[in-house]
Structure 1
Amino acid sequence: MHHIGIDGTTVWPSSQSGDAEFAPDTNPWQDTIAAADQALEEATRIQRGVQHNLKLLQEVRSLREELRKAHAEIDRYRGMHARVVVGMRQLEDDHTAARSRLEVENEMLLVRHRVYKLMAEHYARVALSLDPDTFAAHRDRVLQHVLFQRRKGVSPDDIRYADVAFLML
């Protein structure tokens, strides 16, 4: 049995050839087997590396999917938060407007109460008869006077019946 080498010459196994200068130190089959073993080990190592990379790739994909879901949930909660904040601001504005309106109404009621109290004191002192037209005219004059005094900085509680008596003559 013989093999043809790279340069085209016939290579004989060392067991068949008695010539010492053509006999290599090791058997060419052993070199081939060693090279094949080394190639198989390298292929196995590469296969393990590829399997490890595939496993890492699957983990990366699953982590990306979890991250996408987390971002979607964050966006959903961010939207809910924005709607709640807008709703709260609207309620706050409504509450402020209603409170302002009620404060104005309350202030006006307090002024009217003071007007009626002043008029009642005046009528009680001078013992005037109450006809509706005269009462309405006096009420309007006293109300205008109290509002004018309030704009000047005088509290309605500081106005006495004597201060408005001249309006009801």
Structure 2
Amino acid sequence: MSNNLETATAWPKPRFAEIEGASDPAHHEDTGEGVWQNTIAAADHALEEASRIQRGVQQNLKLMQEVRALREELRKAHAEIDRYRGMHARVVVGMRQLEEDNSAELSRLQADNEMLLVRHRVYKLLSEHYATAALSFDPAVFAEHRDRVLEHVLFQRRKGVPVTQICAADVAFLLL
């Protein structure tokens, strides 16, 4: 048997020596080769585990970076959605305002048009009456006749009679 200092500082035998001496387990215990084998196997296993853990940590870091990048993209997408949502809301409000303005303007124009048609009809009826009755034109009398005919036409219109169906004979009694 060798002294303890030599055993502690001796290098282990190569693996092929382990394979040759594998049939004699007592030989390993006496020389200390079993301890070295276990230590090397444990270190080898620890290195493999450390390497596996390092790969896992690297993969985890890579995934965390991807998650951060995706979160940033998501934040930008949400900001863009909010911007477009605001633009859409402003456009919708503007369109509704335009629709209301156009509806009001259209209603006003239709009312003006109807009134112009009524006045046109009144003047046409008056001109027919004056032409058939061979009356002289007096502006004061004409204004009075115009107001009477206008009232009559508006009354007939409220009753549902179309303005175009009112003839000069229908208003002749007003102008006597």
TM-score tier (shorter):
0.7 to 0.9
Distance in 2 (alpha carbons) for counterparts of 1:122 and 1:24: 145
Distance in 2 (alpha carbons) for counterparts of 1:111 and 1:70: 60
What's 1:94 paired with? 101
Higher helix share: 2
What's 1:56 paired with? 63
What's 1:7 paired with? none
What's 1:2 paired with? 4
Amino-acid identity (%): 72
What's 1:135 paired with? 142
Aligned length in residues = 156
Stretches of 4+ aligned residues off by more than 6 angstroms: none
Q: Which runs of 5+ in 2 are unaligned?
A: 13-25
Q: Which runs of 5+ in 1 are unaligned?
A: 4-10
Q: 1:2: Cα distance to partner?
A: 3.2
Distance in 2 (alpha carbons) for counterparts of 1:67 and 1:24: 65
Residue 166, structure 1, aligned to residue 168, structure 2: no
Q: 1:31: Cα distance to partner?
A: 1.3
Q: Please give the residue correspondences for 1:16-27 in structure 2 after superposition, counting only pairs within 5 Å.
A: 23=30, 26-27=33-34
What value does the CA root-mean-square deviation take over the aligned residues? 2.1
> What code does the residue aligned with 1:135 have?
F
Distance in 2 (alpha carbons) for counterparts of 1:121 and 1:2: 145
* Cα deviation digits, residues 88-146 of structure 1 (max 9, x gap): 11111111110110000000000000000000000001111111111111000000000
> What code does the residue aligned with 2:137 have?
L
Larger RCO (CA under 8 A, 6+ residues apart): 2
Residue 66, structure 1, aligned to residue 73, structure 2: yes
Distance in 2 (alpha carbons) for counterparts of 1:23 and 1:107: 124
> What code does the residue aligned with 1:100 have?
S
- TM-score, normalising length from structure 2? 0.83
